[in-house]
Structure 1
Amino acid sequence: MSLVSSGELKQICVIADDAGISKGHQWAQFLNCPLNPPSVDSYYFRFNVEGERVYVRDQDKRLLEIDFDKNHLDYERKGHRGKQEMIAKALGAAKGCKKVLDLSVGMGIDSVFLTQLGFQVTGVERSPVLYALLSEAFAKTQKEYLKSYKLHFANSLDFLREQNGKIEIDSIYFDPMYPHKKKSSLPKQEMVVFRDLVGHDDDAAEVLKEALKWPVKRVVVKRPIHAEQLLPGVIHSFEGKVVRYDSYVVG
């Protein structure tokens, strides 16, 4: 279970410099946590606001920063194959599917790539800290194709139940988090902080069941290459070396 998305926001504080104090107040209120406390040692996460720069560090000083223009997390993928990309095929790009609902934006890597491929993406993120980082990244990006991105702060299961039939979507994309294998190599620092923030999706199967109730053409689940299907009923799997995209055809 995540330290933060479980509601234990007392484990985070906001640290803002003079140039970022107004923005610091905004996010401290949103996160319901202290702004510039006398001592930061008792807080596992520190949400830093330095002027326009916003990032998170944990107690071990590992950094998580989302900046679509710096491309340090491979946001700008050059040489992509457009509609021939596996993820585009799975989502039905060749069948005219253009409007995608991303149920787990995370650090935005897949969402940004889908937008780069020409999809109109609406994203949902339930971690308040990640939502804050994503909001800042979308607000300051210079990439024109990201200006129309629609980001929502919500639990994906609640969002699906409340918004079914209210927004126009062609395909749904879901990349749930799963427990990290103990024997696997330690990921780079961004992934360590990311996993600590979001934990894993215990309700992934329920989210997929709810997504399959939507009047869309495709529901696509990203899975590790050797993992079992999240739910039976996969029509086709688009397989890469490490991951695959399980496609459920709804209508």
Structure 2
Amino acid sequence: MTASPPLVRVEALGPQFAERARVWASRLGLPTQAEGAQFALQLGEAGLQLQLLEPQAPGPVRVDFVEGGAAHRRQFGGGSGQMIAKAVGIQPGIRPSVLDATAGLGRDAFVLATLGCEVVLFERQPLIAALLEDGLARGREDAEVRPIVERMVLRTGNAIALMRDWEGEPPQVIYLDPMFPHREKSALVKKEMRLFRPFVGDDLDAGALLEQALALATHRVVVKRPRKAPTIEGAKPGYSLEGKSSRYDIYPKKKLTGAT
């Protein structure tokens, strides 16, 4: 039996944001007043953010491609030498088209778009997709970030169904980073996980996700996993790239080549 989803209300952090907050509430089917809500989706100066409503709760989570960690990684992240770049097959003259089928907060997709890839993002959880949509909109308002986020296209929905119904040129590379069952030790690792796990749960359909990705991708599928976690059930990866805390399992189909 699955737990009921937590109660979320939408709040405006100031009267000037009230109308936009009402629009988000209507779009997402959420109340603006709710006694006993466990979370608040807040709209304010910094954009849209999700806040856990409990004593000693961590600060809000938002998608920000302009400041903070995204800006630092954009400027000092190691460019095409990063492990994720190697995993998806970025090389001199090769920038594959990528589908990030488990987009989350869009961090990995943003790195790939920064390096020049065209990236489609799928996110099935409407609240997380809303944070992503807001972050992309704010990114388009920044002169330096605009060219990057213009390479990112967001679609909300179940990735398995969206891949099955894909129309047009298929992606060369599909990137998967499914939520994995957590152990007690790692349950409080990141505030994002604390906030999102009640909404997202574990990706118990990861095997079906991989199977559909292998059917659609033309060149390779890449799965990000915790370093010591087992591979996803189903086809076995051709090889893996291992880092300190995570690893990339690569399922090659065809060699990536530069534009002719």
Q: Is the TM-score greater than 0.5?
A: yes
Which whole-Å deviations, capped at 9, do the CAs of 1:2-31 have from their partners, x for residues lacking one?
A: 87xx7x47x111112321122112211121
1:74, CA displacement in angstroms?
6.7
Q: Which residue of 2 aligns with 1:177?
A: 179
1:249 to 228, 243, 252: 252
> Does the 8 Å CA contact 2:47/2:135 hold for their aligned counterparts?
no
1:218 to 208, 217, 220: 220
1:123 to 121, 125, 138: 121
- Decide whether aligned partners of structure 1 residues 151 and 185 sit closer, same or farther in structure 2, where only a CA change above 3 A counts: closer
Q: Which residue of 2 aligns with 1:49?
A: 43
Q: Please report the TM-score for the alignment, with normalisation by the length of structure 1.
A: 0.88
Which whole-Å deviations, capped at 9, do the CAs of 1:119-163 have from their partners, x for residues lacking one?
A: 111100011111111111100112121123100111111111111
What is the alpha-carbon distance in structure 2 between the residues aligned to residue 46 and residue 176 of structure 1? 25
The reply to whether residue 64 of structure 1 matches residue 58 of structure 2 is no
Q: Which residue of 2 aligns with 1:80?
A: 77
> Does the 8 Å CA contact 1:2/1:200 hold for their aligned counterparts?
no
2:31 to 30, 34, 54: 34
- Decide whether aligned partners of structure 1 residues 75 and 137 sit closer, same or farther in structure 2, where only a CA change above 3 A counts: farther
Structure 2 spans left out of the alignment, 5+ residues: 255-260
1:205, CA displacement in angstroms?
0.6
What is the alpha-carbon distance in structure 1 between the residues aligned to residue 193 and residue 217 of structure 2? 34
Aligned partner of residue 177 in structure 1, secondary structure: coil
1:167, CA displacement in angstroms?
3.7
Q: Please report the TM-score for the alignment, with normalisation by the length of structure 2.
A: 0.85
Q: Which residue of 1 aligns with 2:206?
A: 204
Q: Letter of the aligned partner of 2:157 in structure 1?
A: A
Aligned partner of residue 185 in structure 2, secondary structure: coil
Question: For structure 1, which segment, 22-31 or 199-208, has the greater mean C-alpha deviation from structure 2 after superposition?
Answer: 22-31
Root mean square deviation of aligned Cα: 2.3
1:185, CA displacement in angstroms?
6.3
Aligned partner of residue 131 in structure 1, secondary structure: helix
1:90, CA displacement in angstroms?
1.6
Aligned partner of residue 66 in structure 1, secondary structure: coil
Q: Which residue of 1 aligns with 2:134?
A: 136
- Decide whether aligned partners of structure 1 residues 76 and 82 sit closer, same or farther in structure 2, where only a CA change above 3 A counts: closer
Aligned partner of residue 76 in structure 1, secondary structure: helix
Aligned partner of residue 111 in structure 2, secondary structure: helix
What is the alpha-carbon distance in structure 2 between the residues aligned to residue 184 and residue 215 of structure 1? 32
Q: Residues 5-20 of structure 1: matches in 2 within 5 Å?
A: 8=5, 11-16=7-12, 17-20=14-17
What is the alpha-carbon distance in structure 1 between the residues aligned to residue 53 and residue 180 of structure 2? 23
Identity rate, percent: 32
Q: Which residue of 2 aligns with 1:159?
A: 162
1:83, CA displacement in angstroms?
2.9
- Decide whether aligned partners of structure 1 residues 2 and 30 sit closer, same or farther in structure 2, where only a CA change above 3 A counts: farther
- Decide whether aligned partners of structure 1 residues 109 and 158 sit closer, same or farther in structure 2, where only a CA change above 3 A counts: same
> Does the 8 Å CA contact 1:103/1:124 hold for their aligned counterparts?
yes
Aligned length: 243
Aligned partner of residue 183 in structure 1, secondary structure: helix
Structure 1 spans left out of the alignment, 5+ residues: none
Q: Which residue of 2 aligns with 1:192?
A: 194
1:104, CA displacement in angstroms?
0.8
